[in-house]
């Protein structure tokens, strides 16, 4: 399997590499380490009027950027080596997001920090990471700092879709989860969620509502489906020597997943994503993007492309 590790020399990038070193299988994959220096741009009118001067400035910038990228890569390469990862280095000049997306097309997984180097003070994802999560054809690991000194805690979102099945496969193939504590989570999306009604509405009105009503039949069907999905995945994990607990919640998938991640201090959330949607499921792509943006921990987004 081919893994693209990205760095810009920032603290967030260093943290992402440390996290990747702990999460990924060391000897199973081919690792490439990418640093992209943003291209220097000048207004066209100025470039035409001062062409010789602009050319010198551009060349000086290129030389300095190449030297800085080399130093960043050597430092990151040494950091990875201490974790048992041997990585080839790649230095490029251009749009960081575009270059990462281009390289991602040839690989199975991209590892990126929660920010690019110009967004260190902001919460959530920086613009580069946001674009990579949304548009990469490969799986993407948004790697944040792990809690030291304990087993990994993984929250695996499963809804019975091909996307969540693919996410499970990516996790098992690429991540070292042999000693991890795994929780399988399914969020039931009941009809009143889309009407802006809370679960308490049903509890309050229950005595006056016909339990044979189609909405309640759907609720029971969704609950039964959730139990079946999680039971099947749990059995599959048992078959490869992994144990897991199960959790079923009701509500908005992104908000419920984020709430659970905050409450029980997970190290990694694993989600599938796809562009397909129907009456029963929300647009999974929007769920994975929301979770990757706001999660307090690392997030693996495995995009299923039919």
In angstroms, the CA 230 to CA 244 distance is 10
Return the half-sphere exposure (C-beta side, CA atoms, 13 A cut-off) of residue 271: 28
| pLDDT, tens only, 189-230 | 766 555 555 555 455 545 455 555 666 677 778 889 999 999
- Does the pLDDT at position 291 exceed 60? yes
**What is the CATH class of 147-306?**
alpha beta
Average pLDDT over residues 80-108: 94
Please choose, from the candidates 182, 202, 180, 179, the residue with its C-alpha nearest in 3D space to the C-alpha of residue 190: 202
| CB of 14 closer than 8 Å to CB of 145 | no
Q: What CATH number was assigned to the domain covering residues 1-145?
A: 3.40.50.620
The boundaries of every CATH 3.40.50.620 domain in the chain are 1-145, 147-306
This prediction's pTM: 0.84
Q: What is the pLDDT of residue 44?
A: 58
Q: What is the pLDDT of residue 13?
A: 93
């Amino acid at each position: 399997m081919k893994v693209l590790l990205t760095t810009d020399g920032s603290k967030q990038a260093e943290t992402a590499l440390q996290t990747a070193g702990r999460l990924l299988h060391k000897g199973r994959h081919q690792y490439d380490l990418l640093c992209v220096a943003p291209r220097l741009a000048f207004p066209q009118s100025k470039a035409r009027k001062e062409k010789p001067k602009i050319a010198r400035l551009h060349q000086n910038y290129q030389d300095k950027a190449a030297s800085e990228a080399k130093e960043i890569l050597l430092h990151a390469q040494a950091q990875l080596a201490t974790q048992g990862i041997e990585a080839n280095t790649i230095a490029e000049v251009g749009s960081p997001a575009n270059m990462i997306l281009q390289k991602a097309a040839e690989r199975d997984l991209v590892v990126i920090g929660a920010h690019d180097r110009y967004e260190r003070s902001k919460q959530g994802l920086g613009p580069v990471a946001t674009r990579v999560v949304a548009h990469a054809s490969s799986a993407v690991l948004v790697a944040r700092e792990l809690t030291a000194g304990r087993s990994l805690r993984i929250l695996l979102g499963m809804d019975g879709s091909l996307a969540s099945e693919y996410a499970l496969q990516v996790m098992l193939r690429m991540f070292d989860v042999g000693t991890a504590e795994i929780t399988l989570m399914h969020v039931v999306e009941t009809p009143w969620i889309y009407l802006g009604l809370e679960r308490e509405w049903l509890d309050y009105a229950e005595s006056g509502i016909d339990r044979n009503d189609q909405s309640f039949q759907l609720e029971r069907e969704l609950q039964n489906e959730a139990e079946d999905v999680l039971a099947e995945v749990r059995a599959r994990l048992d078959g490869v020597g992994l144990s897991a607990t199960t959790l079923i919640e009701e509500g908005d998938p992104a908000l419920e997943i984020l709430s659970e991640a905050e409450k029980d201090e997970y190290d990694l959330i694993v989600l599938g994503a796809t562009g397909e949607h129907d009456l029963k499921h929300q647009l999974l792509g929007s769920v994975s993007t929301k979770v990757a943006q706001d999660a307090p921990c690392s997030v693996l987004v495995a995009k299923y492309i039919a």
